[in-house]
Chain A
Amino acid sequence: MQSLLDQMMQEGAFAGVPKEVVYAIAMVLTALVVLSVFVAPLAGLTSWLERRVWARMQSRVGPNRVGPQGVLQWLADGIKNIMKEDIVPAAADQKLFPLAPYIVFMGFLCTFVVIPFGENLIVADLDIGILYILAVTSLVVVGILMAGWASNNKWSLLGGMRSAAQIVSYEIPAGLALLTVVFLSGTLSIQGIIKAQGWAPWDWFLFHNPFTFCAFFLYFTAALAEGNRTPFDIPEAESELVAGYVTEYSGMRFLFFFFAEWGNLYVIGAVATSLFMGGWQVPAVFDDHPVAKGIAQFIVFFLKAYSWVFVAMWIRATLPRVRVDQLMALCWKYMVPLSFVCLMGTIGVMFMSNQWQWVFRAVTLGFAIATAINFFRRVGFQLTEAKPEIYLKPHI
Chain B
Amino acid sequence: MSENAATDTGFYAEEMTINVGPQHPSTHGVLRFVVKTDGEMINEAIPDVGYLHRSIEKIGEKVTYHGYVPYTDRADYLAAMFANQVFCMAAEKLGNTEVARRGEFCRVIACELNRIASHLISVGTFGQDIGAMTPFVHALRERETINNLMEEICGARLTYNYIRIGGVGYDIVPSTMAKIAEFLDHFEPIVEEFNRLLSGNKIFIERLAGVAVVTKEEALSYNLVGPNLRGSGIKWDIRRDIPYSIYPELDFDIPVGTAEVGSVGDSFDRFWVRIREMQESVKILRQCIKMIPKGPAISKVPRKFRPPAGEYYARVEAPRGDMGFYVISDGSEYPYRVRIRTGSFTAMSIIDKLSKGIMVADLIALIGSLDVDAPEIDR
Contact = CB atoms under 8 A, between A and B. Distances in A.
A152 to B, nearest CB: 13
A382 B364 CA distance: 31
A158 B20 CA distance: 13
A382 B197 CA distance: 11
Given A154-B16, A239-B128, A386-B193, A391 B141 contact: yes
A319 B203 contact: yes
A364 to B, nearest CB: 25
A320 B190 contact: no
B10 interface: no
A237 B193 contact: no
B138 A321 contact: no
A59 B40 CA distance: 35
Interface stretch (A217-225, A323-331, A368-376): A323-331
Contacts of B204: 320
A389 interface: yes
A394 B144 contact: yes
B218 to A, nearest CB: 23
A324 B361 contact: yes
Nearest to A395: B148
B26 A240 contact: yes
Interface stretch (B129-137, B281-289, B298-306, B326-334): B129-137
B360 interface: yes
Interface in A151-190: 154-155, 158, 161-162
Q: Most chain-A Cβ atoms within 10 A of its Cβ — which of B137, B145, B148?
A: B137
B24 interface: yes
Interface string B36-73: 00011000000000000000000000000000000000
A351 B77 CA distance: 69
A241 B37 CA distance: 13
Contact of A320 (B132, B138, B193, B362): B132
A77 interface: no
A120 interface: no
B359 interface: yes
Nearest to B16: A154
Interface string A314-347: 0011111111111000000000000000000000
Given A319-B203, A323-B207, A324-B40, A238 B148 contact: no
Contact of A390 (B26, B129, B141, B207): B141
A242 B132 contact: no
Interface in B179-201: 186, 189-190, 192-193, 196-198, 201
Given A318-B134, A319-B132, A320-B131, A237 B190 contact: no
Interface in B322-362: 359-362
Determine chain B's interface SS by DSSP, over half rule.
helix
Interface residues of A, number: 40
Contacts of B128: 239
Interface in B209-258: none
Contacts of B132: 318-321
Contact of A386 (B133, B189, B201): B189
B131 A237 contact: yes
Contacts of B156: none
A396 B133 CA distance: 26
A320 B134 CA distance: 9
Contacts of A322: 203, 206-207
B5 interface: no
A233 B198 CA distance: 18
B127 interface: yes
A238 B25 contact: yes
A320 B364 contact: no
Contacts of B203: 231, 319-322
A109 B188 CA distance: 49
Contact of A242 (B24, B40, B201): B24
Contact of A389 (B186, B196, B362): B186
A12 interface: no
A325 to B, nearest CB: 7
B361 A161 contact: no
Given A59-B138, A238-B25, A325-B359, A320 B130 contact: yes
B261 interface: no
A239 B186 CA distance: 31
29 contacts: A58-B138, A60-B137, A154-B16, A161-B39, A162-B40, A237-B131, A237-B361, A238-B25, A239-B129, A239-B131, A239-B364, A317-B133, A318-B134, A320-B130, A320-B198, A320-B201, A320-B203, A320-B204, A321-B207, A322-B207, A323-B207, A324-B361, A382-B196, A386-B192, A386-B196, A388-B193, A391-B144, A391-B145, A394-B144
Interface of B: 16, 18, 24-26, 39-40, 127-134, 137-138, 141, 144-145, 148, 186, 189-190, 192-193, 196-198, 201, 203-204, 206-207, 359-362, 364
Closest 3 CB pairs of A and B: A321-B131, A58-B137, A239-B26
Given A325-B40, A388-B189, 7 more contacts: A155-B18, A239-B131, A318-B197, A321-B361, A322-B203, A323-B206, A394-B144
